[in-house]
Amino acid sequence: MTYFKVFTSGLRSPVQGGEPIWDGALPFLLPIVEVDTSGKECSHGWNVCRDLSTALRIASLWPDGRPSRAYRLSAVDGHEAIERGDKVRAATWEIVSEVSGAEIERTISDWTRTWAGEHSAAMAVEQIAWSRALARPGRDEQAVVAGLEQALAARGLG
């Protein structure tokens, strides 16, 4: 079974922040941590999701002002996975591969259709445009905002 976990662009927890979890080399075994086996949906342990869409929704697309990085993980023998709500937690997981930008963009489009109704195509295009702009290595956040505002105004969407 494949699971998904999202980190910040700097490989930190998108919710708790802190130091980078690892240097990005793959495969990687997450450090073993204590796991809460109670019925709480969000608690101690490495939390992952069964699908990329849910992982991105929970972690956010740009938690540190840059696009999130999503990864595929697999369970590690001997470490029980506990499912609670939208999450599955365990003491450790193996990070197997990074999800491609194209797959993240497809997921953004699919996910946006679940909540944006008739505006979903336009919303997805704009979310993807933000992700691409914020991913540029020399990006200037103010210049990105100004450029997107110009584009919206030119389309009468300002």
For 93, counting Cβ atoms within 10 Å of its Cβ (0-12 exposed, 13-18 middle, 19+ buried), the class is: buried
Which stretch of DSSP H or E encloses residue 3?
Answer: strand 3-7
Rounded mean pLDDT, 55-59: 95
| pLDDT single digits (tens) 82-131 | 999 999 999 999 999 999 999 999 999 999 999 999 999 999 999 999 99
Q: What are 35's two structure tokens?
A: 């796991």
pLDDT band for position 141 (cuts 50, 70, 90): confident
Pull the structure tokens for residue 27.
Answer: 């495969």
Contact 99, 121 (CB under 8 A): no
User: What strands lie across the sheet with 3-7, from one edge to the other?
Assistant: 3-7, 69-74, 94-98, 28-29
What is the separation of C-alpha 124 from the centre of its chain, rounded to a whole number of angstroms?
A: 15
Indicate the SS3 state at residue 97: strand
Q: Is 19 left (phi over 0), alpha (psi -120 to 50) or beta?
A: beta
Question: What's 46-93 look like in SS3?
Answer: EEEECCHHHHHHHHCCCCCCCCCEEEEEECCCCCCCEEECCEEEECCC
Q: What is the pTM of this model?
A: 0.84
- Tell me what pLDDT residue 59 has: 94
Domain residue ranges of the chain, discontinuous segments joined by +: 1-99, 100-158
pLDDT at site 143: 82
**Residue 139 confidence (pLDDT):** 65
